[in-house]
Chains A and B, each alone.
Chain A
Amino acid sequence: MTATSPSPAGSTVSFDSASAPGGTLVRSSRGLALRGLRSIVRLPSAFLPAMMMPIVQAIAFSGTFFAITKIPGFPTDRSINWYLPLACCMGSGFSGVGMGFSTVRDLESGFFDRLRMAPSPPLSLILGPLLACWLRVMIVISTVLVVGFSFGARLTDGALGLVALYVAGLGVSTIAAGWGLGLAYVFGDMRAAALMQLTLFNALFLTNAQTPLFIMTGWLHEIARVNPFTNVLRLSRQGFLGEVTWGDTWGGLAAIVGLSAVTLWFARRGLDRLGD
């Protein structure tokens, strides 16, 4: 027997009671992930900004800051090659915190209480949104790439460069989703939304987001040098600036694994305390 529960977004979440008590982690997560994907169609206003902003950002930044490619030593003569990966990571990050926004909506409407009472593993309340987030990120990055290529972006190391970009994007979205869900559980209302966006924005811009480290001067250089997101952006840009190397990869992977572990632990702790 399958019980279905209507959600505020008009979608339904299915839990197969045959596997109760608990259901399976995979099945419950899949149900929640599908609900997250359905909301793309049912609540496009919540998804479209995460899709459109990176496109606008990539085009606007590469046009406005075109001249920086003329600085001696700049790693590419195509400004869009520098700004496209940044836009993809930014879009991925906002897709991640978008999961936090939808969780806040569920908390405020009371739908989240029904999810918590469902006979499914609590971990699925984190894993489900995370799966949905990854699928959204694949859509966002693919769309931004298509637009970017039509505006002159070119790969310098073939498909390997694309792999590096997708890994970086999925990593940023995982970190952002953990952070967004954690804040949603801690605050339980839309106060969390501003904090999610502000912190993500700062984390990504206090890096080599706009220019390479060697061009920076003063305080920003010192912060960007130690900000782990600098490594993630380096990972994402490899395939657009030259060859993909392990030297430019491992730092980004380490940052993704470390920060994801911290933010997902924060989300899990917030979820556990929600029941207290």
Chain B
Amino acid sequence: MTVAVDALPVPRRVDDDRTAFTRQVLALSKRSILAIYRQPALVAPSLIFPLFFAALGASSFDRATALPGFPQVDSFLSFSLAGSITQGVLFGSAPTSRVGILIGRLAGAAVFGAFQALFFTLVLMPFGVSVEAGVVGLMVIVLAGAATGMAIGGFTAAMALKTGSSEAVQGSFPLLFIALFFSSAFFPRETMQGVYQTIANVNPVSHLVEGLRGLVIDGLTWGNVAKAVLVPVGIGVFSIALAMRTLAGRLAAR
């Protein structure tokens, strides 16, 4: 019988732990991003459906842009770009499962969110949509897509860790649907009434969308940048803290 001396545990230093942690996170991030690339059938709907809705909206609601409460836009498509990006990222960020694992998974959601933001903008540009905030604005939109992807990924990760059920994570769709439709993603808050307007006013998705829309329609302002980036970052801090806490609870229970 031989003893493999090389395999014996060697005392580790803190620096080694940090390096290992970074390596693990990077490896898991890469895996998560590759999973998106390797399973196009899972991500295709979150790219196709927002474009389908944008096309439907452009034909159905173009005349509505003349109504009081609508911002000055060349077409409904310009108005709907921000809603399409938010819709795609909300329905496209669904990671399913220690800290490194979680961060690695969320990195995949963030990269996909950024890709979606860029994809929707570039696809709609030949149809008359222009980003008034220019290239810098487009970079802010992509950054906001990444932050939103990570934020929503945090919620779905928390739900997955809590329930351990992919069915329950799929069941979050109606909640995201409500968050999206009770916001100004598709129509301005100024055109809503009563309780709908009250909910849309307090819904953070409204402020995120309006920041993105401001960059598309009005141009580069600190207010638009702050709303487009800080709102998803704020949601992300909360959702990732929730996911971490759920993860700690799950590990403690074992």
**A49, A70, A205, A210: which contacts B61 (Cβ < 8 A)?**
A210
Among A14-22, A218-226, A242-250, A254-262, the stretch in contact with B: A218-226
Distance in Å from the Cβ of A105 to the closest Cβ of chain B? Answer: 14
Contacts A215-B63, A219-B59 given: A67-B69 contact, CB under 8 Å? yes
Task: Determine whether the beta carbon of A66 is less than 8 Å from that of B59.
Answer: no
B67 interfacial contact with A, CB 8 Å: yes
B193 interfacial contact with A, CB 8 Å: yes
Contacts of B63 in A (CB 8 A): 71, 215, 217
Interface readout for B180-217 with A: 1 if CB under 8 Å, 0 if not? 01100111000111011001000000000000000000
Task: Determine whether the beta carbon of B56 is less than 8 Å from that of A52.
Answer: no
Interface readout for B122-147 with A: 1 if CB under 8 Å, 0 if not? 00000000000000000000000000
- Bound complex: CA of A205 vs CA of B57, how far in Å? 11
**A45, A60, A70, A219: which contacts B177 (Cβ < 8 A)?**
A60
Task: Determine whether the beta carbon of A67 is less than 8 Å from that of B59.
Answer: no
A163 interfacial contact with B, CB 8 Å: no
Q: Is the interface of B mostly helix, strand, loop or mixed?
A: helix
Contacts of B196 in A (CB 8 A): 63-64, 66
Contacts A66-B192, A66-B193 given: A210-B181 contact, CB under 8 Å? no
Distance in Å from the Cβ of A76 to the closest Cβ of chain B? Answer: 15
Contacts A56-B178, A60-B177, A60-B178 given: A70-B67 contact, CB under 8 Å? yes
**A49, A60, A67, A215: which contacts B191 (Cβ < 8 A)?**
A67
Distance in Å from the Cβ of B224 to the closest Cβ of chain A? Answer: 22
**B59, B174, B187: which contacts A56 (Cβ < 8 A)?**
B174
Contacts A67-B67, A71-B63 given: A220-B56 contact, CB under 8 Å? yes
Q: Is the interface of A mostly helix, strand, loop or mixed?
A: helix
Nearest opposing residue in chain B for A60, CB measure: B181
Task: Determine whether the beta carbon of A53 is less than 8 Å from that of B61.
Answer: no
Contacts A56-B174, A56-B178, A217-B62 given: A210-B67 contact, CB under 8 Å? no
A65 interfacial contact with B, CB 8 Å: yes
Distance in Å from the Cβ of A124 to the closest Cβ of chain B? Answer: 31
A68 interfacial contact with B, CB 8 Å: yes
Contacts A63-B196, A64-B187 given: A216-B174 contact, CB under 8 Å? no
A211 interfacial contact with B, CB 8 Å: yes
Interface size class of A (residues with CB under 8 A): 20 to 34
Task: Determine whether the beta carbon of A71 is less than 8 Å from that of B64.
Answer: yes
Task: Determine whether the beta carbon of B60 is less than 8 Å from that of A211.
Answer: yes
Distance in Å from the Cβ of B236 to the closest Cβ of chain A? Answer: 25
Task: Determine whether the beta carbon of B167 is less than 8 Å from that of A67.
Answer: no
A111 interfacial contact with B, CB 8 Å: no
B58 interfacial contact with A, CB 8 Å: yes
A61 interfacial contact with B, CB 8 Å: yes
Task: Determine whether the beta carbon of B174 is less than 8 Å from that of A52.
Answer: yes
- Bound complex: CA of A220 vs CA of B59, how far in Å? 6
Interface readout for A185-222 with B: 1 if CB under 8 Å, 0 if not? 00000000000000000100110001100011111110
Contacts of A49 in B (CB 8 A): 174
Distance in Å from the Cβ of A272 to the closest Cβ of chain B? Answer: 30
| Residues 47 to 105 of chain B near chain A (Cβ within 8 Å) | 52, 55-64, 67-70
Distance in Å from the Cβ of B199 to the closest Cβ of chain A? Answer: 8
- Bound complex: CA of A9 vs CA of B94, how far in Å? 28
Task: Determine whether the beta carbon of A215 is less than 8 Å from that of B60.
Answer: yes
Nearest opposing residue in chain A for B180, CB measure: A60
Contacts of A60 in B (CB 8 A): 177-178, 181-182
Distance in Å from the Cβ of A208 to the closest Cβ of chain B? Answer: 9
**B55, B56, B67, B182: which contacts A64 (Cβ < 8 A)?**
B182
Q: A65-B186, A68-B64, A210-B61 are in contact. List 17 more A-B contacts (CB 8 A).
A: A56-B177, A60-B178, A61-B181, A64-B186, A64-B196, A66-B187, A66-B191, A67-B64, A67-B187, A67-B192, A68-B61, A71-B63, A71-B67, A206-B56, A210-B56, A218-B62, A219-B55
List of 6 A-B pairs having minimum Cβ-Cβ separation, nearest first: A63-B196, A220-B59, A67-B191, A60-B181, A210-B60, A211-B60
Binding site for B on A (CB under 8 A): 45, 49, 52-53, 56, 60-61, 63-68, 70-71, 202, 205-206, 210-211, 215-221
Binding site for A on B (CB under 8 A): 52, 55-64, 67-70, 167, 171, 174, 177-178, 181-182, 185-187, 191-193, 195-196, 199
Q: Can you list 20 A-B pairs with a CB-CB distance of less than 8 A?
A: A53-B174, A60-B177, A60-B182, A63-B182, A63-B192, A63-B195, A63-B196, A64-B182, A64-B185, A64-B196, A65-B186, A66-B187, A67-B191, A202-B52, A205-B52, A206-B56, A210-B57, A216-B59, A217-B59, A220-B55
